[in-house]
Amino acid sequence: MKRFYQSIILFFVLAFASAISQPKLSVITGDVHNFGKVKANVGKVKTELTIKNTGNEILEISKVKTSCGCTKSELKKNKLKPGESTTIDISVNISPRPGPFSKKVTIFSNDPKSPNKIIRIKADIVTSMTLKPRNFAFKEMKVGYESVAKVKIKNTTKKDIILSDFEVTPKYMTINLKGKKVVKPGEEITLIAKVKPKKAAYFNCSVRMKTNDPDQKTLKVSGYGQVAEVSIFNK
């Protein structure tokens, strides 16, 4: 009986020791890294994440995975002793589209409580000129009938921006802006596109223009719509 109780006590001692002896992955730099406001033409931004083994067993990192090809990671060391730290280099190719930008980096390790540790990478992408909506959206397009779509262009800088050299595709589409257009700081102008479709099909278009702003040298507004054939009874 005495041996039985000794075995029970030994079992619980070993179980308790096993429970408290384990690696623990801690992200010293935080679970979210925010680059803040980033210009769309910056291309690539970089940061360094610091991780530490705050447990009491060796931490083994099997891999670091990013959510898309635009984000790269490089782990400096994959085995950490208790109390030891290392870094992960992160580089992100910034999207040219303005607005919130979010990706994630997942660290896979032998941490029993957090084997898949997720770190969020965020940014607020800003451009000199913003579009609202982002594209021309033509509605109820019909062959031989004029269709109109509008996009508002806003100057978000503190200086005048000059729009020029407008290129329209297809050529038979027309717009209301010509020559050079000066957009004052904070000013919002309306770009109007008019088109009379020649055939029933999916319609694509674009308006390209140059700007005098070094951070956004060109601006493109795309457009789309579905053109329907007109019944002879409705002509």
**Across the chain, what does the average pLDDT equal?**
89
Q: Is residue 2 over pLDDT 90? A: no
Domain boundary among 126, 158, 189: 126
- Report the range of poorest mean pLDDT among 121-125, 184-188, 211-215, 231-235: 231-235
Asked if 25 contacts 119 with a C-beta cutoff of 8 angstroms, the reply is: no
Structure tokens at 45: 């931004």
In the chain, % of residues over pLDDT 90: 77
- Residue 17 pLDDT grade (very low, low, confident, very high; cuts 50, 70, 90): very low
Instruction: Give 147-189 pLDDT, tens digit per residue.
Output: 999 999 999 999 999 999 999 999 999 999 999 999 999 999 9
Domain boundary among 77, 105, 126: 126
Same domain, 51 and 94: yes
Q: How many domains does the chain have?
A: 2
Structure tokens at 207: 């308006």
Strand partners, 229: none
- Residue 16 pLDDT grade (very low, low, confident, very high; cuts 50, 70, 90): very low
The C-alpha atoms of residue 155 and residue 131 are separated, in whole angstroms, by: 10
Instruction: Give 26-41 pLDDT, tens digit per residue.
Output: 999 999 999 999 988 8
Adjacency order of strands within the sheet including 147-155: 129-132, 147-155, 188-195, 174-175
Structure tokens at 143: 């062959």
Question: In this structure, is residue 82 part of a structural domain?
Answer: yes
Question: Which has more confidence, 210 or 5?
Answer: 210
What per-residue confidence (pLDDT) applies to 194? 97
What per-residue confidence (pLDDT) applies to 10? 46
Strand partners, 192: 150
Domain range for 72: 24-126
What per-residue confidence (pLDDT) applies to 183? 97
Cα 45 versus chain centre, distance: 13
Same domain, 145 and 210: yes
Asked if 34 contacts 62 with a C-beta cutoff of 8 angstroms, the reply is: no
Instruction: Give 190-221 pLDDT, tens digit per residue.
Output: 999 999 998 999 999 999 999 999 988 999 99
The C-alpha atoms of residue 177 and residue 193 are separated, in whole angstroms, by: 9
In the chain, % of residues over pLDDT 70: 89
The C-alpha atoms of residue 160 and residue 211 are separated, in whole angstroms, by: 10
What is the identity of the amino acid at 157?
Answer: T
Same domain, 49 and 121: yes
As a whole number, mean pLDDT of residues 5-15 equals 49
Question: In this structure, is residue 3 part of a structural domain?
Answer: no
Question: In this structure, is residue 12 part of a structural domain?
Answer: no
Q: What is the pTM of this model?
A: 0.69
Question: In this structure, is residue 6 part of a structural domain?
Answer: no
Same domain, 107 and 147: no
Same domain, 158 and 112: no
Asked if 23 contacts 58 with a C-beta cutoff of 8 angstroms, the reply is: yes
SS3 222: strand
Structure tokens at 208: 């390209």
Structure tokens at 13: 């001692």
Domain boundary among 126, 159, 175: 126
Asked if 28 contacts 117 with a C-beta cutoff of 8 angstroms, the reply is: no
Same domain, 140 and 114: no
Same domain, 105 and 50: yes
Reported residue count of the chain is: 235
What per-residue confidence (pLDDT) applies to 8? 54
| CATH number reported for the structural domain that contains residue 116 in this entry | 2.60.40.10
